[in-house]
Amino acid sequence: MKTGYVYDPIFLKHNLIGHPENAERLHVIQQSLKKANVWSEMHHVPSRKATEDELAYVHTKNHIKYIKDINTHYGGYVDADTYVNEHSFEAACVAAGSVIDLALATIQGNISNGFAFVRPPGHHATRSRAMGFCLFSNVAVAAKAAQKQAGLERVAIVDFDAHHGNGTQDIVITDSSVFFCSSHQYPFYPGTGHGSEIGQCEAKGTTMNFPLSALAGDEWMKRLYIEILTPALHRYKPELILVSAGYDAHWNDPLTNLGFSLTLFGWLSQTLIKLAQELCQGRIIFVLEGGYHPQAIGQGITNTVKALLGRDDFDDSLGSSTWQEPDMGSYIDDLKKLHAL
């Protein structure tokens, strides 16, 4: 079986030199994957634009029109830190459409799993608003497409980017057919993601937030994945797992203050892949979100791709942080109680 990937040169045209979320990130990622001889091990899945009807699975018509129109007028900023240029709408449509097709390819059995090397990222884009470098929620669009186009009933989205996936949460907060779990520095941008945010109405219990103190590192995350996320996913029984894969929780990232190592990104990936094998025939797609330290994002993603290929020879040339992780206290027990685990 094959590990698939999507990539398209249009992603390089959504660019602003000097902005942390720039096209150079994709160059660095490809260089790292090629240097580690894993790029050629992956199977290319063709990219395509999402239609406006597909974007409307999760976004308002007004939001789609706003991004399309602002782009037509040669761009600018849609908020203090989210830029668009004349290529951004097309790049964002290709990002969402390509994630859909990568997910469908794993559902159809053409590939066993995959990584979507897409930009702009998506997990901060809400139903009606672009923010935090994100225009459309690539993972949420793909989750709904997997349901509407392939008949799946339950999809899980796991987000290990250092920032809360507020956009994805906004979209699925009342939708019990999509399980959402985000781990993130807290309090921090965008301000949401408290542990008590667990879903609303019939979807109460299908959203899970792991707010992390600054300096929290590998041991916190391992315990959360083993003691909370694993039993929660076994209870939910997803038919597909999508991962909002951000690498900005690395200790050397310039935008955040978490203490993850590169080896941890390999471990997290391996753990999620194993869960997909146990629960949903190995169907798992990683989708690029944040990550702003060139070496950390390059090697972090290489470790994820190695895990997708069934390897565990993870690289960690940057080593572990020297920070002391804060005491967890009753954190794990409180979360277990909250989620009846």
For binding to Zn ion (CB under 5 A), which residues are involved? 161-163, 246, 248, 290
Q: In the complex, what is the shortest distance from the CB of residue 176 to Zn ion, in angstroms, rounded to a whole number?
A: 26
Specify the residue, 167 or 246, whose C-beta has the smaller distance to Zn ion: 246
Helix, strand, or coil (residue 184): strand
Specify the residue, 147 or 209, whose C-beta has the smaller distance to Zn ion: 209
Strand locations in the chain (E): 3-6, 43-44, 76-79, 82-84, 113-116, 155-159, 178-185, 207-212, 240-245, 284-288
Distance of alpha carbon 170 from alpha carbon 60, whole angstroms: 12
For residue 58, give the nearest of 136, 134, 122 by alpha carbon. Answer: 136
Place of tokens 């960690």: 316
Distance of alpha carbon 338 from alpha carbon 37, whole angstroms: 44
Q: In the complex, what is the shortest distance from the CB of residue 81 to Zn ion, in angstroms, rounded to a whole number?
A: 12
Specify the residue, 151 or 254, whose C-beta has the smaller distance to Zn ion: 254
Specify the residue, 89 or 188, whose C-beta has the smaller distance to Zn ion: 188
For residue 159, give the nearest of 185, 127, 188 by alpha carbon. Answer: 185
Length of the chain: 341
For residue 136, give the nearest of 297, 301, 308, 289 by alpha carbon. Answer: 289
The reply to whether 164 belongs to the active site is no
Strands 240-245, 82-84: pairing kind: unpaired
Radius of gyration in angstroms for the set of CA atoms belonging to the chain, rounded to a whole number? 18
Helix H or strand E encompassing 231:
helix 230-236
Backbone phi and psi for residue 79, each to the nearest 5 degrees, phi listed first: -150, -170
Residue type for 181, please? C
Selecting among 124, 163, 164, 250, the annotated active-site residue is 124
Specify the residue, 47 or 166, whose C-beta has the smaller distance to Zn ion: 166
Q: Which residue has the CB atom at the shortest distance from Zn ion? A: 290
Q: In the complex, what is the shortest distance from the CB of residue 313 to Zn ion, in angstroms, rounded to a whole number?
A: 27
Specify the residue, 183 or 207, whose C-beta has the smaller distance to Zn ion: 183
Indicate which residues carry an active-site annotation: 124
